[in-house]
Chain A
Amino acid sequence: MSGARDWWLMAALLCVGIVAPFLFPALVAQFAFLWLMVVFALSWDVMGGQMGYNSFGNILFFGIGCYTTAVVQRDFGFDYFAGLGAGLGLSGLIGVGAALLIGRAILGLRGHYFAIGTLGLGIAAAEIAGGWHYIGAGAGMVTPVFPGGVDTRNLFFYGLLFALAGSCFIFLRALYQCRFGMAINAIRDNEDKAEAMGLHTLRYKITAWCVAAFFLALAGGLAGNMIGFIDPRDVAFAGATYGVWMVLMAVLGGKGTLWGPVLGAAIFHLVQELFWTYLLGWQRVALGGLIVLIVVFYPQGIMGWLRERRAGHAVRDGEAQA
């Protein structure tokens, strides 16, 4: 999918994004979460899909964003909007800084060692946040109250998250079309050969991680404020929910494609809301089963399935002509 069709789809999504909160005012918060999920899936796919580095610990940057924004709002004495803005700015910086710092060491790991190493990082961060008194330890942090009604507040965060998801998509689309996209795809396909071709692979890997970290940190700052309460294990570093979801959404939609994560996030968000509403208490059992099903039977995702089908048609057409 490329060119004109991409632009039509983007325009359609833009219209939907603008109209949806006014058509369904009761569901604004749900829609805001949907855009958050899109950011999750897109930013995970930079590493997991396009570069073949399956991180299970990207939630780390989300949590860093949550806490940084909340600490700035608490300690810097700005009014609400200035505090949020400053907090988000600092979140982005610290997120990228953390990615740079950790990236050098951990991006030398490959394959499943990278996957499990990052899983460990995410959980360690949750445990450290849960014991650190400066950021509220296990009791978590409460973000300042939004000046205005609940509806205005939801609409405000909806708008910001929509903008974030949109800019993330457009930025990644441009990134994948230039040399950088080809370089990280080369790393996915064969890292040794990519290095032999003269690519400075570590530099590309760190940059890709920084991109993911930046968007996740901003998403964290916004989501922490929208939820209003930052629990170390269930909101900020929620490895068992958000952390797995981002992997699952990208896989469901089709990892390594541009539209796959968006599609996967939309479908997954719907399914997840249904699970959490109708299967409360058993939602993770259902989710775990779903993960196993998707991964075992549809590892190529929806986009991959579509492509395979189209390729199958093409082959059959070719045979018919011959």
Chain B
Amino acid sequence: MIANLELLAGYPVLGLDLILNGLLIGAVFALAAYGMALVWGVMNIINIVQGELVILGGYIAWAAVGAGVPPLLCVPLAAFALGLLGWGLYGTVIRRIIERDLFISILATFGMSILLQQLMNQVFGADVRTVDSGFGTLSLMGGMVTVAQVKLFAFGLALLTGVGLWLFLSRARLGQAIRATAQNPRAARVLGIDTDRTYAATYALNAALCGAAGSLVVMAWTIHPYIGLQYTVRAFMIVIVAGLGNVAGVVFSGLGLGALENLAGFVLGAEFQVAFVFLLMVLVLIVRNLILSRRRSYLR
């Protein structure tokens, strides 16, 4: 660990490489976090199955590429497939837990995540998968900093989706209905909004965002049936830091998390990177709560 720190101090350009790659992956984390913030804010459900939806999106992109679909087309394809799945999940499970207490929704979505993990393991196999997107690699500063172009593409797409989501929520009819339902479901119902359909659309939109994120993950990094929970925790952490209903905040805390995690993975060693992510989440929770407790308040 000390040796790694010395290495980093001696070659700052190495740190630049780590931070740059971290920022790029952070944008993809933010993509999954938009969805989580949406479901949490509108339906008051913490969607533990989020990460599995991301990984499933990755597997769908992987299967589509295997079937001969060009990689770039896989992003909308995975988003669409997951959107359908999200609609189905809403109809079968989510609508039944929407007005129950949070413990029930956490446990139910946790059950769904365990189910999906092994299902993916059975259907797609336990191997680590990745997809060759056909992009090259960008070399900067005489080869000291390398960036795969697909990561830049993922970064751009994640930011664009953020802007699109913001426009959708503020301008589109359905987006306004979603925000109205989030503010006060009863009032929204009185005013003629079909809240059940709005919830279904919200959950499907969340799943579609996860699908897009997953297809980017499989192109730029790797996926595995059992790593979904990491993405859930990252999304959760980003949402707690950014707060609900704050798309720009989600982007910035996503980028920050990506950079921090990449640096920590280098300094502590790759075997502790996941532990770092989870401990960081606990730390973020505790610190936020300590700040609130000075005002005799707590996280709600």
Contact = CB atoms under 8 A, between A and B. Distances in A.
Nearest to A290: B111
Nearest to B269: A131
A194 to B, nearest CB: 14
A284 B108 CA distance: 14
Contacts of A172: none
Interface string A250-294: 010000000000000000000000000000011111011111100
Interface stretch (A9-17, A118-126, A175-183, A306-314): A118-126
Nearest to B299: A113
Contacts of A288: 111-118
A54 B61 CA distance: 36
Contacts of A127: 271-272, 274-275, 278
A281 to B, nearest CB: 6
Contacts of B282: 106, 117, 120-121, 124
Nearest to A291: B111
Contact of B97 (A108, A111, A296): A296
Given A131-B272, A247-B107, A288-B117, 4 more contacts: A113-B240, A116-B106, A138-B271, A282-B122
A112 interface: yes
A167 to B, nearest CB: 29
Nearest to B281: A120
Given A54-B103, A113-B285, A299-B100, A244 B275 contact: no
A109 B299 contact: yes
B233 A120 contact: yes
Contact of A282 (B102, B118, B298): B118
Interface in A86-142: 105-106, 108-113, 115-117, 119-121, 123-124, 127-128, 130-131, 137-138
A240 interface: yes
A295 interface: yes
B46 A244 contact: no
A266 B282 CA distance: 33
Contacts of B97: 295-296
Q: Which of B102, B107, B300 is packed against the most chain A CB atoms within 10 Å?
A: B107
Interface stretch (B176-184, B199-207, B286-294): B286-294
11 contacts: A105-B286, A106-B285, A109-B299, A113-B285, A117-B286, A131-B275, A247-B107, A285-B119, A287-B115, A288-B116, A292-B112
B279 A124 contact: yes
Contacts of B96: 296
Contact of B111 (A131, A282, A289): A289
B155 to A, nearest CB: 27
B182 to A, nearest CB: 17
A291 B114 contact: yes
Interface in B244-300: 269, 271-272, 274-275, 278-279, 281-282, 285-286, 289-290, 293, 298-300
Nearest to B46: A112
Interface residues of A, number: 43
- The DSSP consensus for interface residues of chain B is helix
A25 B5 CA distance: 58
A100 to B, nearest CB: 15
Nearest to A239: B229
B104 interface: yes
Contacts of A244: 110, 114
B13 to A, nearest CB: 28
Nearest to A240: B114
Interface in B86-128: 93, 96-97, 100, 102-104, 106-108, 110-119, 122
A56 B111 CA distance: 13
B108 A113 contact: no
A27 to B, nearest CB: 27
B236 interface: yes
Which 4 A-B pairs have CB atoms at the shortest separation, nearest pair first? A288-B115, A291-B111, A127-B275, A131-B271
A290 B111 CA distance: 8
Nearest to B49: A288
Nearest to B274: A127
Contacts of A121: 278-279, 282
Contacts of A54: 103, 106
Contacts of B300: 110-111
A31 B28 CA distance: 47
A284 B298 contact: no
A56 B110 CA distance: 10
Given A120-B281, A287-B114, A296-B97, A111 B275 contact: no
A120 B115 contact: no
Contacts of B102: 111-112, 115
Contacts of A116: 46, 106, 233, 236, 281, 285
Given A282-B122, A285-B115, A124 B289 contact: no
Contacts of B122: 281-282, 285
A116 B218 CA distance: 26
Interface string A20-57: 00000000000000000000000000000000001010
Query: Taking each of A117, A131, A251, A282, which has the highest tally of chain B beta carbons within 10 Å of its own beta carbon?
Result: A117
